[in-house]
Chains A and B, each alone.
Chain A
Amino acid sequence: MTDSPRGSRPLSVPEEPIAFFGAVTAATTHDLNNVISIIDQTAGLLEDLVFAAENGSSIEIEQLSRVSESIQRQTRRGIATIKRLNRFAHTTDEPTLEFELNETLENLLVLVQRLADRREVDLKVTPRHEPIKLTASPFLIQHAIFAVYASLLRVSEAGTELSVSVSGGAAAAVVTFDLGSASGASPDLTVAQSLAESVGMRLETESGVDTLTVTLYIENGP
């Protein structure tokens, strides 16, 4: 089993909801830490330029423009991440909510994309063109989706493509994970299966030549 590809830390598949929340928050705040670090150092660079100018060096307009663009770019990156994390946190507001599956899935996978990046797995998300409104617990559905995602990453080798697509309609939605060029090892989907069943979802797997497909069927609530 390629549990820890190329020496990276093993990726756990959280069974408990709080552990899932923690995994998403940890991945996201790591990214925010980088954003803050870049803004901090870029502001420091601006101070260095001013100090150099005070001591007789000239400041190029291009340098100032580059500093300004970097701060703006990282601020936008930070704001986008915070908005996504906030959206994710609000999925715990009520036990059952009406929500749009494409948007919720995309939001979650952007937040945890870093986990795929670290394993050099190419994550592709294809939402359904039409919105899919579900009435269920968006948080628990995301938990099951994340469990499948993490389980597949555990057996993915560098260079693998993982495609996640949404299909189906209002009566039943389908989330499909296609793992190409799998390592040959079978993912342990025990936790994902259990989580899916606990919220009335059905999980099926199908193995092909060097490919693996995991499908989650989500029946719509009342």
Chain B
Amino acid sequence: MSRMSVLFIDDEEELVSTLVERLAYRDIEADYAVDGEQALAKMHERSYDIIILDLKLPGMSGTEVLAQIRREWPDLPVLMITGHGSAGEAQAPPSAPKCEYLQKPIGLEQLIKKMEEALVSE
């Protein structure tokens, strides 16, 4: 089985670069983009098994990036990360299949578990 590959989309570069480094120790191939435009460009260059997307991004919002992903890669699992303390803002768009919301801060092991669950349910 090939290594799981994941793309983080989050403007907190220090956070995602650390996550990428930690996932490498767990034999998970990870990359990151700091905004929606960069993420979509990377996704056109190569394929990923799963996307971890922060809801709050500069420029294109997380919801807008999600909509674009759904148009181009309808079956790709996406985990949405939010720093919002309640589920109020973290509402999935009505037509957002294969999408789950997680709240920051999230532990790495919990994140990996969620990624594996998303891939299994795929």
Residue positions of A touching B, CB distance < 8 A: 6-9, 26, 29-30, 33-34, 36-38, 40-42, 44-45, 48, 51-52, 70, 73-74, 117-120, 158
Cβ A6 vs Cβ B60 within 8 A: yes
Cβ A6 vs Cβ B18 within 8 A: no
Contacts of A8 in B (CB 8 A): 61, 64
Question: Known interface pairs A48-B22, A120-B58. Does A33 touch B15 (Cβ–Cβ under 8 Å)?
Answer: no
Cβ A38 vs Cβ B89 within 8 A: no
Closest to A48 in B: B25
Max chain B C-beta neighbours (<10 A), residue from A8, A37, A45, A48: A37
Q: Give Cα distance in the complex from A98 to B59, angstroms.
A: 39
- B94 contacts partner chain A, Cβ-Cβ < 8 Å: no
From DSSP, what is the main secondary structure of chain A's interface residues?
helix
Contacts of A37 in B (CB 8 A): 12, 15, 104-106
Cβ A7 vs Cβ B64 within 8 A: yes
Q: Give Cα distance in the complex from A3 to B61, angstroms.
A: 14
Which listed residue, B18, B25, B57, B85, touches A29 by the CB 8 Å rule?
A: B85
Which listed residue, A38, A48, A73, touches B15 by the CB 8 Å rule?
A: A38
Cβ A42 vs Cβ B12 within 8 A: no
Q: Give Cα distance in the complex from A58 to B57, angstroms.
A: 37
Contacts of B72 in A (CB 8 A): none
16 A-B residue pairs with Cβ-Cβ distance under 8 Å, sorted by A, are A7-B61, A8-B64, A34-B12, A37-B15, A37-B104, A37-B106, A38-B18, A40-B107, A44-B108, A45-B18, A45-B21, A45-B22, A52-B25, A118-B57, A118-B61, A120-B59
Band of interface residues on B? 20 to 34
Q: Give Cα distance in the complex from A33 to B107, angstroms.
A: 13
- B114 contacts partner chain A, Cβ-Cβ < 8 Å: no
Closest to A114 in B: B56
Closest to A32 in B: B83
Closest to B55 in A: A9
Q: Give Cα distance in the complex from A150 to B107, angstroms.
A: 34
- B14 contacts partner chain A, Cβ-Cβ < 8 Å: yes
Q: Give Cα distance in the complex from A37 to B105, angstroms.
A: 5
Closest to B109 in A: A44
**Extra 8 A-B pairs, beta carbons < 8 Å, given A30-B84, A48-B22:** A7-B67, A33-B104, A34-B83, A40-B105, A41-B18, A45-B18, A51-B25, A70-B14
Contacts of B59 in A (CB 8 A): 6, 120, 158
Contacts of B63 in A (CB 8 A): 7, 9
Closest to A57 in B: B25
- B40 contacts partner chain A, Cβ-Cβ < 8 Å: no
CB within 8 Å of A: which of B41-80? 56-61, 63-64, 67
